[in-house]
Amino acid sequence: MKFAFIIDPLARLIPGHDTSVALMEAAQELGHEVWATQANELSVIGGKTWAMLSRVALTPVKVVDGRWEAAEAWYEVEQPTLLQPLEAMDAVFMRTDPPVNIPYLYATYLLDGIDPAKTLVVNSPKGLRAANEKMYALQFEGAIPETIVSQNKQVIRQFVEKKGAAVLKPLGGKAGEGILFLEAGDRNLNSLVEISTQQGQIPVMVQTYLPEAKEGDKRIILLDGKPIGAINRIPTGNEFRGNMAVGGRVAKTEITDRELEICTQLEPVLQRDGLYFVGIDIIGGYLTEVNVTSPTGIREIDLFDGVSLGKQVIEWVEKEEGRRKKEEG
């Protein structure tokens, strides 16, 4: 099979951390061709999506002293780079990192030129457009903490005063960027809201603060709506955010019954929207985010649990493609 990965430049990826690299390695180890491109290399020609694709060969990471270690030259890109229709691929992984800005959205429109009956796109471009990683969680009543979305300073202030403490999140943020802890008595509260909403021009999400955040922000990986692994991210020092990008410590964890219930609630909706590979964040038994653009965490889960989630994902693609071809035949 042929796998295409739409990713950020390879030189910027961290092989011992990035899930995209783990997926590419898994595809290669299972005997498939691995090709790479970037969102700005997409075109629509004759109503079909094309891309400048480069064949990639990877040197897999290894566990050394309890951590992943990569070779200095961990990838090779074959030349020449070829313009090819993405329907020539068996599967396309859209793994460009946020922010979900105008160029990102345009890339999803370009990906609409792939016939889903011929090539599996993970995740569906329509699903990516529908699933803002903050707003998407609002539809799962009972699973999320008390939440508002507003750009109105008075509305936000009233919510914070009612709850005593809250967490403000930019709707387009990533890796914990721009997340603020708000307290009712803070004299800077108005200024923080004004800065975050750009003087009332951009809505933000505000959630009641969950004290359990000190115990960790759990990332659960879902494949076709079903949980396949989890990792706990624990804040360090004076930081209230557990994101790995801001220094959160990772720890082995288990998925609780409450968290399984949340996954079951999400499963049919994710399947409906073509969101096959997803990372959800749960704090204190509450769903806080649904990450669909380039969810990460499988390197850390693999290390703690002695598994290969990348291979599970690729094997699922193999079966899914086999099922589709059988239905066509």
Task: Give the pair of three-digit tokens for residue 103.
Answer: 């160029």
- Residue of 162, 159, 205 lying closest to 180 (CA atoms): 205
In which band, very low, low, confident or very high, does the pLDDT at 74 lie, cut at 50, 70 and 90? very high
User: Percent of the chain, pLDDT > 70?
Assistant: 95
* Catalytic annotation, pick one of 2, 95, 163, 169: 169
What number is the average pLDDT over the span 157-170?
95
pLDDT at 56 (0 to 100): 97
Q: Which among 259, 289, 300, 302 is annotated as catalytic? A: 289
Whether 291 is a known active-site residue: answer yes
Q: Which of 7, 36, 39, 172 is nearest to 110 (CA)?
A: 39
pLDDT confidence bin for 240, thresholds 50/70/90: low
Q: Tokens 């068996």 appear where?
A: 90
Do 245 and 98 touch, CB atoms closer than 8 A? no
Q: Residue 177 has what pLDDT?
A: 82
Q: Which helix (H) or strand (E) holds 5?
A: strand 2-6
* Bridge partner list, 286: 283
Predicted pLDDT of residue 273? 98
- State residue 326's pLDDT score: 73
312 to 22, 274, 317: CA distances (angstroms): 11, 18, 9
Position 141 confidence tier, pLDDT thresholds 50, 70, 90: confident
CA angle in degrees (0–180, nearest 5) for 256-260-262: 115
User: If you ran DSSP here, which 8-state letter would residue 273 be given?
Assistant: T
Residue count of the chain: 329
Token reading at 88 = 């020539």
Cβ–Cβ < 8 Å for 220, 227 = yes
Mean pLDDT within 313-319: 97
Q: Which of 95, 241, 273, 299 is catalytic?
A: 241
Distance between CA 201 and CA 150 in Å, rounded? 10
**Is 28 a residue whose pLDDT tops 70?**
yes
Span 4-17, average pLDDT: 96
Query: Can 289 be counted among the known catalytic residues?
Result: yes
Q: What is the pLDDT of residue 243?
A: 53
2, 134, 218, 299: the active-site residue: 134
Is 233 tagged catalytic?
A: yes
Of the residues 132, 232, 243, 291, which is catalytic? Answer: 291
Mean pLDDT (whole number) for 224-234 = 96
* pLDDT one-digit tens code per residue, 173-188: 776 788 999 999 899 9
Strand segments, DSSP code E, in 134-285 are: 147-150, 165-170, 180-183, 204-208, 217-223, 226-234, 249-251, 277-283
Mean pLDDT of 244-255: 78
User: For the whole model, what pTM was predicted?
Assistant: 0.92
Q: Across the chain, what does the average pLDDT equal?
A: 93
Active-site choice (25, 90, 273, 281): 281
- Catalytic site includes residue 219: yes
**Which of 95, 218, 219, 299 is the catalytic position?**
219
- The half-sphere exposure of 46 on its side-chain side, counting CA atoms within 13 A, is 5
Q: What is the pLDDT of residue 13?
A: 96
Q: Residue 51 forms beta bridges with which residues?
A: 42, 84
Task: Return the closest-CA partner of residue 10 out of 69, 54, 50.
Answer: 54
Helices marked H in 50-123: 102-111
- Is 134 assigned a catalytic role? yes
Residue 80: pLDDT over 80:
no
**Stretch 45-69: mean pLDDT, rounded?**
96
